[in-house]
Amino acid sequence: MKSIILLIVLGTSIIVSGQQKSQIYFDVTKPIEERVENALSLMTTEEKVALCHAQSKFSSKGVPRLGIPDVWSSDGSHGVSDEKLWDEWSSAQWTNDSCTAFPALTCLAATFNPEMSLLFGKSIGEEARYREKTILLGPGVNIYRSPLNGRNFEYMGEDPYLASRMVVPYVQGVQSCGVAACVKHFALNNQEISRGEINVSLSDRALHEIYLPAFKAAIQEGKAWSIMGAYNKFRGEHCCQSDLLLNKILKQDWKFDGVVVSDWGGVHNTDEAVNNGLDIEMGTYTNGLTTQGHFPFSSYYLANPFLKGIKEGKYDMAKLDDKARRILRLIFRTTMSANRPFGRFVSPEHSKAARKIAQEGIVLLKNENNLLPIPVGKYKKIAVIGENATRSLVVGGGSTSLKVAYEISPLQGLKDKYGKEHIVYSMGYASGPSLYGREEPSRLNADSLLNAAVEIAKTADVVFFVGGLNKNYFQDCESGDRKSLSLPFGEDKLIESIQKVNKNIVVILTSGNAVSMPWLQKIPSVVQAWYLGSEAGYALADIISGDVNPSGKLPFSIPKKLSDIGAHAFDKLCYPGDSVNVQYKEDILVGYRWLDTKKIEPLFPFGYGLSYTTFAYSKPSVDMSDLKPDGTVKVSFLLTNNGKVDGAETAQLYVSKSKSAVLRAAKELKAFKKVFLKAGECKTQTIELPISSLAFYNERKQVWEVESGSYLLLLGSSSRDIKGKVDVKVLSN
């Protein structure tokens, strides 16, 4: 006798006519793996293949017959992107998709505060959840190798340990909202020049010690549910179809059970895509954002060619099942999870979070004669000069371009803080329109803009110059690197001209990259302000006025000149390569590791940042000096706020080993702790350091190895400002 079974699970009704069928994949009380296997057993080969490739610019298919939803992704480096047309990059022109812009990730890294990273991840995750996204395409953790890289502003700086500590809570925050974080770009995507074909060569030590740790932390500690391959090649294979990166390192060594998503247009071959670890192919026949046009999704490498190969026996069915299994697992963790919370969009809480992160990330680089802070009411006439004071800095830049609900410009923030009657504005310089793929100079007369700005500066009590880079092509922008370390658009000349008529000048740099500062000795105050998002103007005014004490630290070194950086200390093959190959000749000596080891003085060192108060460190001590490789050492010290205002200091613990069997950097960051102290407050601080973190990657044995012998632990407020040292000895096993 036939029966009719009605299942009602989480509001979903399924009627199965005829013989009873298993519907465990709808039963959210069952373990995910049981649900995955059940769903897989009910799918046809065609349905499994359909999971593995795009069906639109930002989605791939589910299984409609079984009620399994599609996978929807969104760009989300520092805000959830607007909706796009089905198969184009153009905006769909919705009226309800304007997001909150959070600070760019260089700013987040500059907070040196994992709590801010968790707040960031949860906030942006809530916005993605509200917009019904399955995958948020971020965060980015590619290492800042060269200050010319156009996408550095999307990443977390030059140090693998800092990036590792900051990425884990970000991933956890996003995924707590039932949205998969997609960590990118795996791996070695450290330049935009020739990014689609450049073949990266480097040592195994550099790979494992510098360029992989943040990805590894995101996977093993953050438990990221997805990861995006990179455009470039590594040892001859495109990273989106690299057997070494995807199969061996990611899935075998790191036990990754999530989904590998290609970067858009990053797949080039069916055989390698099938066999070398890719799970979902997106954007084929588009080169990032530079090409759009209609190409049948059925012609993707993991579409009909894959299906044909399966049916002909060319490809093992187990390869297809593994991909489908991972994608189903992703869907059950997100869209079909019983515990998926509701999201929220452009909420007051998100505005507060964006402002707080921006405040903590702003770095005070110089403050001669305590020109800053400038309390409200101190000056009657304040000149604000510079295009970046009014220009939108959430648009442009490639895939990070956002459609925001609102954006408080620096000029607006300063007007609201000091009173618009006290503010006069002059543009000073002009960059031209924001176009993707080419430079477009401004039609405004540069001399006229400069002269007008100088006239205003003459009669002002103080000048706030708001400049830096922007999101134009060849600035902080995807698909093109910067052409030099210098400020663009004649800004150096403008700063020099203003300084000649007004000595009270604060230079505020909005950028995601280091810039040269030939005028530095003549300028009393310099602020690194990053791209601060929707609350930019308010956060900046909070710092300038002293309502908030700056506590940001540089997540990368600022060199005096480009050739001081390891990637630029050799020939062009080291950067940007010959358009075919690039060799990382600086090896493990990236950023401050190069500068410190080669004894090159930076303009501003990694980890550097001033405050409106001062902090004093006592001599550090350790709980034990003889250590075992599997042990932990506790470093203790007294930290005192000696000033008259509350503030925060990031204590940084570096490690040095002078006698080693392998090349070592002069010092490496291995721990840090951000401490908030009231004025005059003194507290004992303890930083725990696992001895395993002292290991180097043994290329011959292909394992991590802790050398026995003496190590020097260096406690400091930056990589160059060491406050105390202590020796420890690691015993042999």
Residue 690 dihedral angles phi and psi, to the nearest 5°: -65, 135
Residue 290: closest CA among 112, 428, 477, 129? 477
Residue 35: closest CA among 332, 302, 305? 332
3-class secondary structure, 202: coil
* 8 Å CB contact between 232 and 189: yes
Q: Can you give the pLDDT at residue 22?
A: 61
Q: Can you give the pLDDT at residue 3?
A: 37
Helix axes of 160-175 and 114-130: crossing angle, nearest 10 degrees: 40
Which token pair is 465?
Answer: 């110059």
Could you give the CA distance from residue 423 to residue 416 in angstroms, rounded to a whole number?
10
Q: SS3 sequence, 659-695? A: CCCCCCCCCEEEEEEEEEECCCCEEEEEEEEEHHHHC
Name 129's bridge partners. none
Could you give the CA distance from residue 55 to residue 297 in angstroms, rounded to a whole number?
6
3-class secondary structure, 320: helix
Could you give the CA distance from residue 719 to residue 653 in angstroms, rounded to a whole number?
9
Q: Can you give the pLDDT at residue 11?
A: 36
CA dist 92 to 81, 95, 99, Å?
11, 9, 15
Domains of the chain: 348-556 (3.40.50.1700), 615-730 (2.60.40.10)
For Cα atoms 374, 393, 591, give the angle at the middle one, nearest 5 degrees. Answer: 80
Residue ranges of the chain with pLDDT lower than 70? 1-22, 293
The pLDDT tens digits of the residues spanning 391-416 come to 999 998 889 999 999 999 999 999 99
Q: SS3 sequence, 468-484? A: ECCCCCCCCCCCCCCCC
Largest CA distance in the chain: 96
Q: Can you give the pLDDT at residue 281?
A: 98
Could you give the CA distance from residue 543 to residue 551 in angstroms, rounded to a whole number?
10
**Which helix (H) or strand (E) segment is 281 a member of?**
none
Could you give the CA distance from residue 142 to residue 150 in angstroms, rounded to a whole number?
12
What sign does the CA torsion over 471, 106, 552, 490 have?
Answer: negative
Is residue 727 part of the annotated active site? The answer reads: no
Residue type, 222: G
Report the DSSP pairing between strands 722-730 and 626-627: parallel
Q: Can you give the pLDDT at residue 20?
A: 40
Helix axes of 304-311 and 317-333: crossing angle, nearest 10 degrees: 130
Residue 489 dihedral angles phi and psi, to the nearest 5°: 60, 25
Specify the residue for token string 């480096």. Answer: 77
3-class secondary structure, 411: helix
Structure-derived torsion over alpha carbons of residues 658, 659, 665, 667, reported in degrees to the nearest 10:
-40
Could you give the CA distance from residue 282 to residue 296 in angstroms, rounded to a whole number?
12
* Active-site residue identified among 82, 87, 159, 263: 263
3-class secondary structure, 714: strand
Q: Where are the beta strands (DSSP E) in 154-198?
A: 180-186
CB atoms within 10 A of CB 377: 10
Residues in the chain: 733
Q: What is the pTM of this model?
A: 0.96
Which token pair is 315?
Answer: 């490809």
Q: Can you give the pLDDT at residue 574?
A: 98
Q: Can you give the pLDDT at residue 434?
A: 79
Which token pair is 518?
Answer: 């030939």
Residue 504: closest CA among 459, 451, 551? 459
CA 402 to chain centre: 16
CA dist 372 to 325, 415, 496, 527, 629, Å?
57, 17, 20, 10, 47
CB atoms within 10 A of CB 574: 18
Which token pair is 324?
Answer: 């489908």
* 8 Å CB contact between 139 and 170: yes
Q: Where are the beta strands (DSSP E) in 408-504?
A: 423-426, 462-468
* 8 Å CB contact between 417 and 546: no
Could you give the CA distance from residue 230 to residue 263 in angstroms, rounded to a whole number?
6
Could you give the CA distance from residue 295 to residue 170 in angstroms, rounded to a whole number?
35
Could you give the CA distance from residue 509 to residue 559 in angstroms, rounded to a whole number?
15
The pLDDT tens digits of the residues spanning 485-528 come to 999 999 999 999 999 999 999 999 999 999 999 999 999 999 99
CB atoms within 10 A of CB 632: 14
Could you give the CA distance from residue 497 to residue 505 in angstroms, rounded to a whole number?
11
Could you give the CA distance from residue 403 to residue 394 in angstroms, rounded to a whole number?
8
* 8 Å CB contact between 355 and 539: yes
Euclidean distance between the first and the last CA atom of the chain, given in angstroms as a whole number? 70
3-state helix, strand, coil in the chain (%, to 5): 30, 20, 50
Cα Rg of the chain (Å, integer): 26
